[in-house]
Amino acid sequence: MEWKWKTIIEPFKIKTVEPLGFTTREERVRLLEQAHYNLFNIRAEKVLIDMLTDSGTGAMSADQWGGIMRGDESYAGARSYYNFEEQVRELTGLREIIPVHQGRAAEKILFSVIGGKGRYIISNSHFDTTRANVEYSGAQAMDFPAKGALDFDKTAPFKGDADVAAMERFIKDKGAENIPLCVMTVTNNSLGGQPVSMANLKKVQELCRRYGIPLFLDCARFAENAYFIKLREKGYNQRPVKEIAEEMFELADGCWMSSKKDALVNIGGFLAMNNAEWAQKCRQLLILTEGFNTYGGLAGRDLEALAIGLREVLDENYLHYRIRSSAYLGEGLIKKGVPIVNPPGGHGVYINAKKFLPHIKPQNFPAQALACALYLEGGIRGVEIGTLMFGRRDAKGNFIAAPMELVRLAMPRRVYTQSHIDYVIEVCGSLAKDKKKIRGLEALEVSPILPHFTAKLRPL
Ligand SMILES: *Cc1c(COP(=O)(O)O)cnc(C)c1O
């Protein structure tokens, strides 16, 4: 349906509700102290608007809950598996469909089969679990983001694209025989949820075909990417999103999905491909850690809900609401003088804390300070993507700041309404007025592995 109104009308009515976690400011002062200024340590019940992640935090539909009851829990050959397989096959056109409990399980299995020392995986940008699994196999994960992707002020329609020329130089340099896979992450999660254009996907596919390198999609947010193509790419305006998504998958030899994103479920994933030899090896590993071929670490009911979610996510009224909501949050923040990564991505908005809080030095974690201030001011939980997450020390012990200081406000799917977003904008606006009062933090304890999860901090 054409939507000409400014109001973002949520394309659903609400049947089940959950209370939000209201707290007083006094309580939040205490909670932050107890949590050592690390928002991962705050109980979710004490968060009013939880924008930590869009992963597994979505709301299922009445139809999906119905599917949960219909789920077939047979160990082998369950009806729910066949519903799932048929749905994934219809969408992707791929032959071998392997269920897994979430995205990283697919990555672990795939890279155990095709990774290894001396090999390179090339990508527009690897997501962090993808990179970790590639590297754990002994292979190297190489990113080739489009030029300008890291220029946060510049708006461009497809900042998730790959730099095809740079990819080709790398292939020539290292030899195609050492590159078992190219993966395009759609949308590009690590770079702000920015979409990849169909034109770029086609160029990457053409490159891969020329050098005989299989192309996979890391398709956690395939529907959001397809909708951005419809909105922004010439020639796609009149095409149904479902067709655009199918066209994306037609270019690929395989894919994996964290279904906690665009399959609108709280847990689940899959790995799919045409290469029967790889699939056979993957299934052997699947049985070792995930389970039998027809459930792969999921309950039958999960497979049922996943299959339904894959259909529902292509509803254009839903996608309009989804993408408009992120854009609306972004526009609202800009109006309040809060700088963001432009343009807003599909699954959230990234506040540029380096620009917002220039008085806080990188070693005092400006983005983490802002994330804590947001919680203190309004009970809102975002996540730091900055020096706490990516800061390093060199061999001599010198501090190296992260290249960016961002706070991601991720949007859970079908969970919050326009008035929740208005509230977030209002709180951010209030912080902007008094931003000089926001103080940096100092680290008390930072572990070398995934420091943001366990770090302990205190205010200066
Ligand atoms: C979330 C995500 C993954 C990992 O999936 P999990 O379900 O969290 O294990 C991989 N790639 C991308 C692009 C993701 O967004």
Q: Is the link from the previous residue into 157 a cis peptide, with omega within 30 of 0?
A: no
Answer whether 111 contacts ligand 1 (Cβ < 6 A).
no
Within-domain flag for 279: yes
CA angle 178, 184, 189 (to 5 degrees): 125
Within-domain flag for 149: yes
Kindly report, residue by residue over 160-190, the tens digit of the pLDDT.
999 999 999 999 999 999 999 999 999 998 8
Q: What percent of the chain has pLDDT over 70?
A: 99
**Is residue 335 among the annotated active site residues?**
no
The number of CA neighbours under 13 Å toward the Cβ of 162 is 33
Q: Are residues 295 and 425 in the same domain?
A: no
Q: Are residues 299 and 342 in the same domain?
A: no
Q: Are residues 327 and 300 in the same domain?
A: no
User: In the prediction, which pLDDT does 1 show?
Assistant: 59
pLDDT score of 363 more than 90: yes
Task: Work out the average pLDDT over 351-355.
Answer: 96
Nearest CA to ligand 1 atom 4: 103
**Is residue 127 among the annotated active site residues?**
yes
Of 106, 120, 452, 455, which one is the catalytic site residue?
452
Tell me which of 277, 297, 312 is where a domain ends: 312
Q: Are residues 372 and 249 in the same domain?
A: no
Tell me which of 312, 343, 372 is where a domain ends: 312
Q: Are residues 332 and 300 in the same domain?
A: no
Q: Are residues 172 and 321 in the same domain?
A: no
pLDDT confidence bin for 216, thresholds 50/70/90 = very high
**Is residue 75 among the annotated active site residues?**
yes
pLDDT confidence bin for 394, thresholds 50/70/90 = confident
Within-domain flag for 436: yes
pLDDT score of 43 more than 90: yes
User: In the prediction, which pLDDT does 367 show?
Assistant: 97
Nearest CA to ligand 1 atom 1: 258
CA of 220 to the centre of ligand 1 (A): 6
Kindly report, residue by residue over 2-35, the tens digit of the pLDDT.
778 888 899 999 999 999 999 999 999 999 999 9
Q: What percent of the chain has pLDDT over 90?
A: 89
Within-domain flag for 8: no
pLDDT confidence bin for 77, thresholds 50/70/90 = very high
Q: Are residues 254 and 363 in the same domain?
A: no
Pick from 126, 258, 298, 302 the residue to mutate for probing ligand 1's pocket: most ligand atoms within 8 Å of its CB: 258
Work out which ligand 1 atom sits closest to the CA atom of 185: 13
Within-domain flag for 345: yes
Backbone torsions φ then ψ of 90, nearest 5 degrees: -65, -40
Task: Work out the average pLDDT over 97-116.
Answer: 98
* Residue 423 token pair: 């509230």
What DSSP assignment string belongs to 329-373? HHHHHHHTT--BPSSP-SSEEEEEHHHH-TTS-GGG-HHHHHHHH
**Is residue 320 among the annotated active site residues?**
no
**Is residue 452 among the annotated active site residues?**
yes
Residue-averaged pLDDT of the chain: 95
**CATH, residue 348:** 3.90.1150.10
Kindly report, residue by residue over 114-148, the tens digit of the pLDDT.
999 999 999 999 998 999 999 999 999 999 999 98
- Whether the CB-CB separation of 230 and 237 falls below 8 Å is answered with yes
Q: Are residues 214 and 253 in the same domain?
A: yes
Domain count, the chain: 2
Q: Are residues 400 and 331 in the same domain?
A: yes
CA of 128 to the centre of ligand 1 (A): 8
Answer whether 103 contacts ligand 1 (Cβ < 6 A).
yes
Within-domain flag for 144: yes
pTM of the model: 0.95
**Is residue 399 among the annotated active site residues?**
no
Of 37, 127, 222, 318, which one is the catalytic site residue?
127
Answer whether 220 contacts ligand 1 (Cβ < 6 A).
yes
Residue identified by tokens 């939040």 is 28
* Residue 378 token pair: 């309004």
Q: Are residues 43 and 80 in the same domain?
A: no
* Residue ranges making up the domain that contains 171: 62-312
User: In the prediction, which pLDDT does 142 show?
Assistant: 97
Within-domain flag for 4: no
CA of 104 to the centre of ligand 1 (A): 6
Pick from 55, 57, 126 the residue to mutate for probing ligand 1's pocket: most ligand atoms within 8 Å of its CB: 55
CA of 408 to the centre of ligand 1 (A): 16
User: In the prediction, which pLDDT does 164 show?
Assistant: 98
Q: Between these two residues, 153 and 177, which has the higher pLDDT value?
A: 177
User: In the prediction, which pLDDT does 150 show?
Assistant: 83
pLDDT confidence bin for 350, thresholds 50/70/90 = very high
pLDDT score of 396 more than 90: no
Within-domain flag for 9: no
User: In the prediction, which pLDDT does 314 show?
Assistant: 98
pLDDT score of 54 more than 80: yes
